[in-house]
Amino acid sequence: MFFRRLKGTGKTCAVAALVLLCLVAAGLLAVPRSVRNTDAGSFQALKASYRTSDAVLLDRRGEVIHTLRIDDSGRRLEWARLADVSPSFLSTVILVEDRRFFSHHGVDPFAFISALARGAAGGKLRGASTISMQVASMVDRDLRPKGMRRDLGQKWRQIITALAMERSWTKEEILEAYINLVYYRGELQGVRAASKGLFGKEPSGLTQLESVVLASLITSPNAPREKVAARAWRLALRAGMRITREEVGRKAADALASAYRIAFDASLAPHVARMLLAGGRLKMATSLDGRLQRFVLDALRDNLAALRGRNVADGAVMVVDNATGEVLAYVGNSGSTSSAVWVDGIRAHRQAGSTLKPFLYGLAIEKGYLTASSLLEDTPLSIMTPTGLYVPQNYDNQFRGTVSVRCALASSLNVPAVKTLLVTGLEPFVERLKELGFASIKEEPEFYGYSIALGSADVELYELVGAYLALARGGRRAEMKLTFDGAASAGTRVMDEKASYIVSRILSDRESRAVTFGLENPLATRYFSAVKTGTSKDMRDNWCIGFSRRYTVGVWVGNFSGEPMRDVSGISGAAPLWLEVMNFLHGTVPSTAPARPRGVTVARVRFEGDIEPPREEFFLEGTEPMEVVRVQSAHEKPRIVYPPEGTLITIDPDIPEKLQRVAMRFEPRSRRLRWVLNNTDAGSDTPLFLWEPRRGNYTLSIVDGDGSIVDSVGFAVR
């Protein structure tokens, strides 16, 4: 090559190169055949290969609901057509970069001559590159400077590529490529990113003043703002603009005074976006409903603001279509108002509280251990476990005495739930939860103990919604999905359909939940819905999960830090938000009770002693009572509930021994049984026996009228 044989260094070499390039530009030097065959690529191929630095998430109707940054190499937004850009900016760019752009064929000989003259006079050799030449170096990485400046070989190939490009591209295509590929400030590449980042607007809205500031950045994108302002002022004078230097200075200062910020067009589903826009995807459609997602996010923020005085900072909401399993709303936190914007509250592990109780009672009904009218004792209970004595308490520390299963579940009473777990067994219940999709429950049943009846296990809101979705679908578990196809899901049978129906009708019973929540509360809707609340230990988590015929909605509120809330009950935390979302969903959509499946009968029941009013009740066929429902424990055989077998009782040295008493109890309370201690009649036949402890080993029994031992336990006093 001629360039390789060219001798000289510094300005002598540069001047010789400019002379050669000027001759080529003027057509006085023939272009080699290899150059004439240069492939500059096509504009359409360049445009197709362009990649934004942000990916977009679409809702089920094609609306953009989230924009996510996926490329840190530069900030590029959507390609801007010339028609999308202010004419004042385009004319300003041509004025500052290549004023004879529309009259030359890729190389401007007059610019080369001018540059040559400046070089001969001792000035800087710059200003000869046309817009076409700059685009050529943007498209071909080999033409980019390896140091501060291009070498002569690169300059030669740049001009040849520009000439070839001019033969196959239109001027408009070259200019469009230029304004989209050039860097303006820092990482801002392309006119759309620069316009939105520096001026907060689309490039179509750029004013003359903004255009001169933006065009002045092209030559030196990272120049101090004072130099940018001075350059913009000179450009404004060249353009004949009627503005003052102070106006230009203020505009430059406003645009460059601080770090840029591009406001996303949409930011509604960050957690879903991070899940689905992985692996280089630039666009992904989801099952989410943008209108619903926006409403739920706003409603969550409003409800958290109302709870702020009760030390509630965070929340999460999920909505699922019952028929398809498609997720319609996925709000992992409240966004900018959250205490931890990156935490996904839907997939975070939190204590379940009472939200697991419907599945416990469903198992007991399914196995025939209980019916909805079975009576349970809501009385003090103590259970000896390998780790110590377990004494469950109700939420309000009160006991209601004898209650039906319907009342116990609807009103979320704790002690009857633990007694039901004693009937079903710990292991079968934990296995049922795993079948329902609680993947977070990984340990052996003994790890959780009997407290799992009250929701001591850590679970996800996602798992809870999936379990209640199965309940809404008559016991069939459906895979929840974030993609949209509209197809109904048959699902997998994990609960008996008949038991699921009975539990659903209990959860929809406004009167039965009134024992705890009253008749007027956020759980009561004007349409069919079944719902359950839950509050974890120390008031750290509050849940409300429920469903209508068409939708399942789950809500959690609390603090991502685990800090306890203050004075937040089952119906004052998550429930109002649940109701607001449900009412929005059913503004025009009806919801009626599901049809009674075969194998479920209705019978009128009356209770002994009018414990509860007579009512129509649902039963598995063959389990309906033949007469008045009588008071009985879930354990048919009377038993000693305290002290449990193996209890060690310690006399308190700080209390006079004569004043100390141990409260011994048996169930059911309706039975008349006598207490016997170490084969000696203790002188009491009441369910509660207060005994003055004395050191020693003891065998405690209860005997019936015939003197037969009904139950017996051993304990010791130290």
3-state SS of 361-408?
Answer: HHHHHHCCCCCCCCEEEECCCCEEECCEEECCCCCCCCCCEEEEHHHH
Nearest to 522 by CA among 606, 580, 459, 601: 580
CA distance 410 to 207: 64
Left if phi > 0, otherwise alpha if psi is -120 to 50, otherwise beta: which for 439? alpha
pTM over 0.95: no
pLDDT of residue 331: 98
- Provide the residue type at 176 as one letter: E
Instruction: Measure the CA–CA gap between 460 and 440, rounded to whole angstroms.
Output: 7
pLDDT category at 39 given cuts 50, 70, 90 is low
What pLDDT, in 10s, does the model give residues 457-492? 999 999 999 999 999 999 999 999 999 887 888 889
Of all residues in the chain, the percent with pLDDT exceeding 90 is 54
Tens-digit pLDDT profile for residues 678-694: 999 998 888 888 888 98
Per-residue DSSP letter, 567: S
* Domain 639-717 -> CATH class: mainly beta
Instruction: Check if the beta carbon of residue 41 is closer than 8 Å to that of residue 143.
Output: no
Query: Tens digit of pLDDT for each residue in 403-426?
Result: 999 999 999 999 999 999 988 889
The predicted pLDDT at position 104 comes to 87
SS3 141: helix
pLDDT tens digits along 98-110: 888 888 888 877 7
In this predicted structure, which of 27-41, 171-185, 200-214, 436-450 has the lowest mean pLDDT?
27-41
Question: What's the pLDDT score for residue 225?
Answer: 87
Exposed (0-12), middle (13-18) or buried (19+): which is 706, by Cβ within 10 Å? exposed
Identical fold at 329-336+342-620 and 639-717? Answer: no
Structure tokens at 470: 């199965």
* Number of DSSP helices (H) and strands (E) in the chain, helices first: 24, 28
Question: What CATH superfamily classification does 329-336+342-620 receive?
Answer: DD-peptidase/beta-lactamase superfamily (3.40.710.10)
One-letter-per-residue 3-state SS of 228-242: HHHHHHHHHHHCCCC
- Closest of 99, 515, 61 to residue 328, by C-alpha: 61
- Which residue type sits at 72? D
Calculate ∠ Cα 314-318-324, nearest 5°.
175
* Lowest mean pLDDT, pick from 12-26, 299-313, 434-448, 630-644: 12-26
What CA–CA distances, in Å, run from 525 to 49, 548, 574, 579, 582? 53, 10, 15, 8, 9
CATH superfamily of 2-256: Biosynthetic peptidoglycan transglycosylase-like (1.10.3810.10)
The residue ranges of every structural domain in the chain are: 2-256, 329-336+342-620, 639-717
What is the average pLDDT across 284-288? 95
